[in-house]
Amino acid sequence: MSTYVLIHGAWHGAWCWDKVIPLLKQAGHIVAAPDLPGSGRDKTPIREVTLQTYVQRVCETINVQAEPVILVGHSMSGGVITQAAEECPDRIKLLVYLCAYLPRNGESLFDLVQQDKESVSVRNAVFAADRSYFTIRDEAVKEVFYADCTDEDVARARSLLGPQASAPTSVPIHTTETNFGRLPRIYIQTLRDRTISPSLQRQMYTAQPCQKVITMDTSHSPFFSAPEALVVHLTSL
């Protein structure tokens, strides 16, 4: 039995794990999936959301678990779990990057986004007038996130997606070999991803080698399109 902490990506909330959580629990594992500040059901004003508030939420969730956890970050939250690993490494057994950003020390998520010329998410982002948050054009939601998902899943997700705070994406990640660097990492690459292209995913896990790289022939949201296969991979670690 292991304890999994699942961290959602940008625009999403803990709801994105609704198909995965029951499967992990049925396999006998403990699962926690918090909403990050300003996301899902969390009511933190979006202009108060920072990378540090994200990291604090993750560390708070980890610290109340009975044992060190397998920490899974999707998409944007690859940066979040990386910084959390630097700040509370003793509470983490393994880091899992699910088609997620894997920044090096000194890189921000925005730095990585700018490198991804194949991504369709950037060209479909709509910023608020003060640039404090951004959304994805409604007509592009399926193409960006859910190309291989059912219409039912796409409709539900579209109704639940929220704005994404800009501040966490522009702050550089700071890590050391002493903390983050000593934790084992697994990368799950999604081969039909239009949000974080497979080429950028490969670039990141090559620059920061992982203990193992797993490939899934899915879009950016295997928690919807292939939850059973995703859980098999997670429980095999």
- pLDDT at residue 199 greater than cutoff 90: yes
Sign of CA dihedral 44, 111, 143, 209: negative
Structure tokens at 114: 């700018």
Question: What are the helix and strand counts (H, E) for the chain?
Answer: 10, 9
Domain span holding position 165: 3-235
- pLDDT at residue 191 greater than cutoff 90: yes
Confidence of residue 90 (pLDDT cuts 50, 70, 90): very high
- pLDDT at residue 127 greater than cutoff 90: yes
SS3 58: helix
**Structure confidence by residue, pLDDT tens digits, 145-156:** 999 999 999 999
Structure tokens at 99: 């088609």
CATH of the domain at 173: 3.40.50.1820
**Structure confidence by residue, pLDDT tens digits, 73-83:** 999 999 999 99
DSSP one-letter string for 140-165: GHHHHH-TTS-HHHHHHHHHH---EE
**Which range has the worst mean pLDDT, 79-88, 119-128, 199-208?**
119-128
- pLDDT at residue 223 greater than cutoff 90: yes
- pLDDT at residue 115 greater than cutoff 90: yes
Report the percent of the chain where pLDDT is more than 70. Answer: 100
Overall domain count for the chain = 1
- pLDDT at residue 122 greater than cutoff 90: no
Give the span between the Cα atoms of 204 and 191, in whole angstroms. 14
Give the span between the Cα atoms of 180 and 177, in whole angstroms. 6
Average the pLDDT over 90-104 and give the result. Answer: 98
Confidence (pLDDT) at 162: 96
In this prediction the pTM is: 0.97
Cα of first residue to Cα of last residue in the chain, in angstroms, is 11
Which of 187, 55, 176 has its CA nearest to residue 105?
176
* Beta carbons of 81 and 98 less than 8 angstroms apart: no
Confidence (pLDDT) at 54: 98
Residue with tokens 């992982």: 210
**Structure confidence by residue, pLDDT tens digits, 27-44:** 999 999 999 999 999 999
Helical segments of the chain, H only? 20-26, 51-63, 77-87, 109-115, 141-145, 151-160, 167-170, 198-207, 222-225, 227-235
Structure tokens at 100: 């997620």
Average pLDDT along the chain? 97
Residue 130's Cβ-count burial label (10 Å; 0-12, 13-18, 19+) is exposed
- pLDDT at residue 232 greater than cutoff 90: yes
